């Protein structure tokens, strides 16, 4: 089931807040605090069920998201190995090889809200 536009907006707002609390409100690559964008590690085009998985999302400034991450995949992959914790890398790899469906937007929103509450405490 695909999320409605309002559900998608809510999911991305929750992801944004989770990632900012988890990683800090700055570009993971250059530490800039402006023009920040959510960037997927495993692309949502090929890993649709991982689109709203918080471990699959990082913050990058617009420059590093568009002009570096997407244009230099080998360099980006090598950099990522040192930029995020090993346990997160392992969970991401496992998630990419596991069937995560069916997708229920309402359950996903509840899960992200619970994750956010944990980060806030």
Q: What pLDDT is attached to residue 72?
A: 96
pLDDT along the chain (121 residues), means of 10: 95 98 96 97 94 97 97 96 97 93 94 97 90
CA-angle at 63, arms to 62 and 65, nearest 5°: 65
| Nearest of 44, 35, 42 to residue 8 by alpha carbon | 44
Q: Are strands 57-61 and 36-40 parallel, antiparallel or unpaired?
A: antiparallel
Q: What pLDDT is attached to residue 1?
A: 83
Give the dihedral sign, CA 75/80/86/91.
Answer: negative
Q: Whole-model pTM?
A: 0.92
């Amino acid at each position: 089931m695909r999320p409605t536009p309002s559900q998608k907006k809510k999911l991305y707002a929750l992801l944004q807040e989770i990632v900012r609390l988890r990683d800090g409100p700055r570009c993971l690559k250059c530490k800039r605090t402006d023009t920040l964008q959510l960037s997927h590690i495993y692309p949502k085009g090929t890993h649709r069920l991982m689109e709203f998985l918080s471990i699959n999302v990082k913050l990058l400034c617009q420059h590093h998201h568009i002009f570096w991450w997407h244009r230099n995949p080998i360099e980006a992959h090598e950099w990522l190995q040192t930029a995020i914790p090993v346990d997160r890398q392992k969970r991401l790899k496992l998630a990419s090889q596991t069937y995560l469906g069916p997708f229920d937007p309402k359950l996903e929103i509840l899960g992200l809200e619970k994750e956010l509450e944990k980060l806030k405490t």
